[in-house]
Amino acid sequence: MRVRIDNVTKTFGHTTAVSNFSAELEDGHLICLLGPSGCGKSTLLNMLCGIIPVTQGQIFFDDKNVTKLPPDQRNIGMVFQNYALYPHMTVAENIAFPLEVLKVKKDERKARVEEIAKLVHVDNLLRRYPSELSGGQQQRVAIARAMVKKPQLLLMDEPLSNLDARLRLEMREEIRRIQKETGVTTVFVTHDQEEAMSISDSILLMKDGLLIQSGLCQELYVNPNCLFVAEFLGNPPANKLPASVVECEQSERIETTATTVAIRPEAFTLDPNGIEAEIQFISEMGKDQIVTMTYLGNTVRAILNLEDSALATGSKIKVSLKKKGVFTFDKEGRRLS
């Protein structure tokens, strides 16, 4: 199912949580709603499912205007950070619960529970209680419960935040697999850019209730429309330098109106004719190194392949900038080049 969000605003008293938000979510996509804590992600998600009424604007599922429909008439599956399983029910009963509410017959209920439990890989846990499950298993059950009624839209609000780093990686791949196998349009909320980049087809990047940029993950990374996007995506993050400093050395590339230059760590390259930089710290990253160094009087992080193992803190290297991954911005943070 396609979703169209048309100029949606939500205010709580004097707080504008979501402001004039418009976006189209493509059928079958996994879309990440990404942005710092407090930017309005959960509010927007809850307006999609109908728990929070919109202050202004409209929401369409395919061509149907659902703005005023209550949650139970929107056929949506929800997964939350804290799993929210019923502790006194077994896994099977938890998963079956939405079907009971819909008064689905017992035989069909059982078949559907078994089918979805297999898909989500909890079919061996059906008789257990939530307290007998690990965090990752609980979240699988929560996903099964959200999917059992074959929702036309799956909404997930920071579903992996309570899991440890290793389980988080595993569950990312699992959510991706389940989403691909079912083809259900999914909105996944996260504040973690790495998670968003690794899991989604496309990203809606928010700040202060506003949609700042939307597009495929790589589009946002390669072509950020403002300084906020350039800085928010990428790890280590892009280095931010005053344009005046970089201008002296790279004059032909920096526009005179630019105030800030953002340089991605991978945009640095070793170059005997480059600018001298002094190494402060080296950390290993697979075959490359993350080199923290003083460059034009600023501390920056570069991803380099040093090769020379004698290089250490205090060593001098020469670097220049590649074409890709260097962006300039005006004083309002708007992209110039």
Ligand X SMILES: Nc1ncnc2c1ncn2[C@@H]1O[C@H](COP(=O)(O)OP(=O)(O)O)[C@@H](O)[C@H]1O
Which of 15, 124, 218, 244 lies at the binding interface for ligand X (CB under 6 A)?
15
Which of 42, 138, 200, 328 lies at the binding interface for Mg ion (CB under 5 A)?
42
- The single residue listed with the structure tokens 């791949």 is 173
- The single residue listed with the structure tokens 């996007």 is 229
Rounded CA-CA distance 288/15 in Å is 46
Task: Choose from Mg ion, ligand X, none: what does 239 bind? Cβ within 5-8 Å by kind.
Answer: none
* Cβ contact 167:11 at 8 Å: no
Least distance (Å) between residue 44 CB and Mg ion: 9
Cis peptide before 159 (omega within 30 of 0): no
Which of 19, 42, 179, 213 lies at the binding interface for ligand X (CB under 6 A)?
42
Choose between 61 and 80: whose C-beta lies nearer to ligand X. Answer: 80
Residue 37 φ then ψ, to 5°: -55, 135
* Cβ contact 305:289 at 8 Å: yes
Choose between 42 and 239: whose C-beta lies nearer to Mg ion. Answer: 42
Residue 8 in tokens: 């949606």
3-state secondary structure of 38: coil
3-state secondary structure of 199: helix
Least distance (Å) between residue 51 CB and Mg ion: 13
The interface with ligand X within residues 43-82 (CB under 6 A) comprises: 43
> Biggest alpha carbon distance in the chain?
75
Residue 39 touches ligand X, criterion: CB under 6 A: yes
Residue 165 in tokens: 């780093």
Nearest alpha-carbon partner for 7 in 24, 22, 27, 25: 22
The interface with Mg ion within residues 260-319 (CB under 5 A) comprises: none
- The single residue listed with the structure tokens 């061509």 is 63
Residue 181 in tokens: 């196998």
Choices 37-45, 171-179, 225-233, 329-337 (CB under 6 A): range interacting with ligand X? 37-45
Task: Choose from Mg ion, ligand X, none: what does 133 bind? Cβ within 5-8 Å by kind.
Answer: none
Least distance (Å) between residue 19 CB and Mg ion: 16
Task: Choose from ligand X, Mg ion, none: what does 301 bind? Cβ within 5-8 Å by kind.
Answer: none
Choices 24-32, 38-46, 81-89, 225-233 (CB under 6 A): range interacting with ligand X? 38-46
Count residues near Mg ion (CB under 5 A). Answer: 1
Task: Choose from Mg ion, ligand X, none: what does 39 bind? Cβ within 5-8 Å by kind.
Answer: ligand X
Rounded CA-CA distance 304/269 in Å is 7
Residue 19 touches Mg ion, criterion: CB under 5 A: no
108-126 b/e with 16+ CB inside 10 Å = b? Answer: ebeebbeebbebbebbebb
Choose between 42 and 138: whose C-beta lies nearer to Mg ion. Answer: 42
Residue 298 in tokens: 């600023």
Task: Choose from ligand X, Mg ion, none: what does 17 bind? Cβ within 5-8 Å by kind.
Answer: ligand X
Choose between 137 and 190: whose C-beta lies nearer to ligand X. Answer: 190
Which residue ranges make up the site for ligand X (CB under 6 A)?
Answer: 12, 15, 17, 35, 37-43
Which residue ranges make up the site for Mg ion (CB under 5 A)?
Answer: 42
